[in-house]
Structure 1
Amino acid sequence: MKRLRAVLAVCTALCTGLVLSACSTEEKAEGRAEPLRSAGAAEGSLQLLTLPGYAEEGFEDRGVDWVTPFEESTGCQVTVRTAGTAQEIHDRMAGGFYDGALVPSEAFGRLVDGGRLAPVNTRLLDSYKSLDVRLRRLVEREDTSYGMPATWGADLLLFETGKAQPASWGAVFDPRESKPYHKRIVWRDSPHTIASAALYLKHRKRSLKIRDPYELSAEQLEAVTELLQEQRPNVLRVTEDPTQAVEAFSVGDAVVGMGGTYELDVLARGGRPIAVASPKEGVTGWYTAWAISSRARNPNCMYRWMNWVSTPEVQKQTAEWRGVAPADGRACGLLRAGFCAAHHVGDRAYIDRLVFARTPDADCEKEPECAGWSDWTRAWSSLG
């Protein structure tokens, strides 16, 4: 139960936290910080902002603690502040004085564009080149890195074997294709769900000319919203956290729905015949990355922290505690058999197909302009 509470808190942050935000994605850029040129003496303290489960100090479980060994080996005394949502990470990094943060993909681009994150000198990170190359590219802007990937995952299409065998996201989003599963469908409660539905319409209704599910025009967003509004009465449950999806599948109420590797693992361990479909439209994904604040007062301790959490040993602990894929495949040699295969760690083709989450931005190359995040949150709220 202790591990479950930590997992739930982060899943809520990644999947539902941004529902609370209806603000514009526009940012007012601050002065750009320069990357640290060389490693210096540790300042003695470190102020971290993180989602739950990424900087464990043994409070939930005495055996789960990678902060204390870091403090003992570096002399950097860590103060951990926890944020409940991706939006809170963004807002507190924009207004507070932290040395660094664990930033979810939904907030990463906005913090970079707003000048809140400092460029990273990757030559000072011992394990940087061992991190997945696709994830490294996601935290770069014009060949400059603004973070160090930590974990990642995919938004999965789950189904109960013997009762369903979906090959498309239409099984959860299209009222016609999903007819055999009506009132047995699970959605996630997040505007992020719009992207998965947009991925479906990109292939199902090509006249919309959707190129990127996170870069929708007002017309495209309206089309996706109309599809979701039509399908909403056929949905059994819109889940706010993973336990609700686990419960719906475990008692047999749900047959198809959205989920992640955590839900799949819990259901499999419970003996439920739940499997993952391979929708022809593809799947969306997410990542987290450690980043340095542009106002960091203790940058040397922050670089030491990033070196610490990117070691295979700490990557292994994080992956186990959080139930997510590590960014460094070397952790697979320390994880239990089958863990990395289940999470597709090192599966180049799988990772390269993922459409990783980011905050929809009204400032894009489309004509007319794209719908921004505030438009997405209003659209999601309209579903009731």
Structure 2
Amino acid sequence: MPISTTRRSVWQAGLAQACAVGLGTWAAASARAQQNLHRTSDPAKTLRVLAWPGYADPDVVKAFEAREGARVELSIVGSDEVLRQRLSLVDPVTGGPLFDVLAANTVEIQRLRELNMLAPLALSGLPHAAAQLPRFLRREAIPGITDGGRVYAMPYTYAEMGLIFDRRQISTPPVSVEALWDPALQGRVLAFDGSTHSFSLAAMAQGLSPFQIDATHWGRVTQRLVALRRNVRGFYSLPEESAEMFRRHRVALMFANYGRQQLKLLQDQGMDVGYVVPREGALAWLDCWAITRQARNPELATRWVNHLLSLDSGRLLTRRQGLANTLEEPAGVPASGRLVWLEPVEDEPRRGRLWQRIIAGERPERLVA
């Protein structure tokens, strides 16, 4: 079945998100319009934040602004690819990124650290971090966030990418990721519009390494994604977009890139949905806050991270978004299946190029991996 939705541009996706949940916008001018206009215009007192949907709700931002006498310019991303694009833009004054502080998963944190784009954190300015769960206090054991005894990112939230299903259409919970390819569900499946995770998902479905696709398996994995494209109703980028598509198109099954955040969105809208971790396992991410090396006010950025690590902020994140925080154990854990923590992949540009051709509907015989 042909894809029913076209890919949104970065700006359109960001604007749609801002309209839906009031979380800001891509453009700094629109972000300022949503903030208190009486704030100081001093660049050193303006914090430029790059985050994912739901990570910094307006009341959380306003509380920080009121305490610090500062202004927050919030930009939202919907994929790792968009995050990289935004961070590639250069501030003409500092020569660094256009953002002071950002939220990203550990794979992206490692990449940014290796590019010398992140500053080591001043742990003395992060007292809330001391209350994190023991597994997050063992920071050296978390791949990508430390180097040479210095900490470059602070864990914030985590989730597994499970499967969400409509109980009215699927009475027995799916046990395998192969359900996404089930011919009986053709036109009633949603998938995530992201090259890296999509290739990892298709590799896992075939019992292959999700992060290091062997040279002999590229064609096999690519064809599997072509088959997925034919089975899905459409591809989404943002959580709210997925919930709207799920409801409007009477979707039966969705690959939940945002995990329990999407589950909560649908449940809050009255949908009778279930959530499973398939037997092959689920890709899982850990998002962290980090400060860019050329942040205009590192102390203000540090106070922002500490603000988001507070118990109050963590509980708001869990209650509103359904995402786990790093201070309390989640109320529920997957009953089955294993978590496959994200790792760097073998060739991201290659995945990106092939993915664009796949979702554009290019004929399979022309897709040479």
Q: TM-score, normalised by structure 1?
A: 0.68
Q: For each residue in 1:249-294, what CA deviation from the matched residue of structure 2 results, as whole angstroms up to 9, or x when unmatched?
A: 4367322221232332233344433211231111012332211222
Write the distance in 2 (CA, Å) between the matches of 1:139 and 1:265: 29
Which residue of structure 1 lines up, in the alignment, with residue 47 of structure 2?
Answer: 47
Give SS of 2:191's match.
Answer: strand
Write the distance in 2 (CA, Å) between the matches of 1:291 and 1:374: 24
Which residue of structure 1 lines up, in the alignment, with residue 110 of structure 2?
Answer: 109
Write the distance in 1 (CA, Å) between the matches of 2:159 and 2:317: 13
Does residue 237 of structure 1 match 2:234?
yes
Assess, with a 3 A threshold, how the Cα gap between structure 1 residues 107 and 306 changes in structure 2: closer, same or farther: same
Q: Within 5 A, what are the aligned runs for 1:1-384?
A: 5-6=20-21, 45-51=45-51, 53-56=54-57, 58=58, 64=59, 66-74=60-68, 77-84=70-77, 85-92=82-89, 95-96=96-97, 98-105=99-106, 107-132=108-133, 134=135, 136=139, 137-142=142-147, 143-161=149-167, 163-164=169-170, 165-173=173-181, 178-191=182-195, 192-202=197-207, 210-211=208-209, 213-243=210-240, 245-250=242-247, 253-259=250-256, 260-329=259-328, 340-342=330-332, 344=333, 353-360=338-345, 370=346, 372-383=347-358, 384=361
The 8 Å contact of residues 49 and 89 in structure 1, kept in 2 or not, is answered as no
Amino acid at match of 2:279: K
Write the distance in 2 (CA, Å) between the matches of 1:121 and 1:162: 51
Assess, with a 3 A threshold, how the Cα gap between structure 1 residues 154 and 227 changes in structure 2: closer, same or farther: same
The 8 Å contact of residues 23 and 76 in structure 2, kept in 1 or not, is answered as no
The alpha carbon displacement at 1:150 in A equals 1.9
Give SS of 1:382's match.
Answer: helix
Q: For each residue in 1:178-209, what CA deviation from the matched residue of structure 2 results, as whole angstroms up to 9, or x when unmatched?
A: 2332332221121122212222222xxxxxxx
The 8 Å contact of residues 8 and 242 in structure 1, kept in 2 or not, is answered as no
The 8 Å contact of residues 46 and 99 in structure 1, kept in 2 or not, is answered as no
Assess, with a 3 A threshold, how the Cα gap between structure 1 residues 116 and 321 changes in structure 2: closer, same or farther: same
Write the distance in 1 (CA, Å) between the matches of 2:283 and 2:234: 20
Q: CA RMSD in A?
A: 3.5
The alpha carbon displacement at 1:219 in A equals 3.0
Give SS of 1:296's match.
Answer: coil
Give the share of equivalent positions with the same residue, in percent: 23
The alpha carbon displacement at 1:69 in A equals 3.3
Write the distance in 2 (CA, Å) between the matches of 1:146 and 1:128: 13
Write the distance in 1 (CA, Å) between the matches of 2:277 and 2:250: 22
Write the distance in 1 (CA, Å) between the matches of 2:193 and 2:184: 22
The 8 Å contact of residues 53 and 322 in structure 1, kept in 2 or not, is answered as yes
Amino acid at match of 2:146: R
Give SS of 2:300's match.
Answer: helix
Write the distance in 2 (CA, Å) between the matches of 1:317 and 1:3: 19
Give SS of 2:277's match.
Answer: coil
Write the distance in 2 (CA, Å) between the matches of 1:180 and 1:304: 52
The 8 Å contact of residues 90 and 107 in structure 1, kept in 2 or not, is answered as no
Gaps of 5+ in 1: 13-42, 59-63, 203-209, 333-339, 361-369
Q: TM-score, normalised by structure 2?
A: 0.70
Amino acid at match of 1:375: R
The 8 Å contact of residues 151 and 324 in structure 1, kept in 2 or not, is answered as yes
Mean Cα displacement is larger for which, 312-321 or 147-156?
A: 312-321
Assess, with a 3 A threshold, how the Cα gap between structure 1 residues 298 and 229 changes in structure 2: closer, same or farther: same
Give SS of 2:102's match.
Answer: strand
Assess, with a 3 A threshold, how the Cα gap between structure 1 residues 96 and 240 changes in structure 2: closer, same or farther: closer
Give SS of 1:285's match.
Answer: strand
Which residue of structure 1 lines up, in the alignment, with residue 29 of structure 2?
Answer: none
Assess, with a 3 A threshold, how the Cα gap between structure 1 residues 112 and 231 changes in structure 2: closer, same or farther: same
Gaps of 5+ in 2: 1-15, 27-42, 362-369
Amino acid at match of 1:195: S
